[in-house]
């Protein structure tokens, strides 16, 4: 199966194996670039999509990966307070040069350089979540607790409050 995967997805499959995660990367016929597209293609709830968002630490220019539940909007100020460092937007070139993957297919592991990782606590309510696997058409299922272990990520509240002002 892995032999038929595009190079980027094969790299993710190899990273999963190296982390001891028995998940298999799945190629979808349609795009899973957004959480809504991914949930529709997989047939799961959008909350079960583990979307990978890359930011740049403004103090060190190092990447920070925030793995958030599909519908959650990341509160950048809250994430920055967890890091004790300001966050800046990461453009497509920064994302590719630091992770080795293009926006729309960034996985939560298997990056070119070590990436500080924050994981949305909302993902831990599920037995299985689905994450990008290197391309907009590739995903893999994983127990979110295994994802925390494999990435060394810190589990935190990262979502913007949904309360009215």
Mean pLDDT by 10 residues, the chain (165 residues): 79 97 93 86 95 96 96 94 94 96 95 94 97 95 97 92 46
Distance CA 144, CA 138 (A): 18
Q: Which residue has the tokens 């913007």?
A: 160
Burial (Cβ within 10 Å: 0-12, 13-18, ≥19) of residue 4: exposed
Distance CA 21, CA 14 (A): 10
CA-to-CA separations, 12 to 8, 51, 88, 106, 150, in angstroms, rounded:
7, 15, 26, 10, 12
Residue 163 three-state SS: coil
Please state the pTM of the whole predicted model.
0.92
Distance CA 87, CA 113 (A): 18
Instruction: List 118's β-bridge partners, or say none.
Output: 66, 154
Predicted confidence at residue 140, as pLDDT, reads: 97
Rg (CA), the chain: 15
Predicted confidence at residue 86, as pLDDT, reads: 95
Predicted confidence at residue 2, as pLDDT, reads: 44
Domains of the chain, start order = 2-156 (3.90.960.10)
Distance CA 135, CA 158 (A): 25
């Amino acid at each position: 199966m892995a032999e038929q995967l595009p190079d980027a997805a094969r790299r993710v499959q190899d990273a999963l194996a190296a982390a001891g995660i028995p998940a298999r990367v799945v190629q979808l016929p349609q795009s899973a670039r957004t959480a809504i597209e991914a949930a529709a293609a997989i047939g799961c709830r959008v909350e079960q999509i583990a979307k990978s968002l890359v930011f740049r630490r403004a103090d060190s220019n190092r990447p920070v990966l925030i793995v958030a539940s599909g519908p959650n909007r990341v509160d950048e100020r809250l994430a920055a307070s967890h890091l004790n460092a300001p966050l800046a937007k990461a453009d497509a070139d920064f994302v590719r040069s630091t992770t080795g993957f293009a926006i729309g297919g960034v996985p939560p592991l298997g990056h070119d350089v070590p990436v500080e990782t924050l994981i949305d606590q909302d993902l831990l309510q599920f037995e299985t979540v689905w994450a990008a696997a290197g391309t907009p058409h590739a995903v893999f299922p994983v127990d979110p607790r295994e994802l925390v272990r494999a990435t060394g990520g810190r589990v935190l509240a990262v979502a913007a409050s949904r309360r009215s002002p």
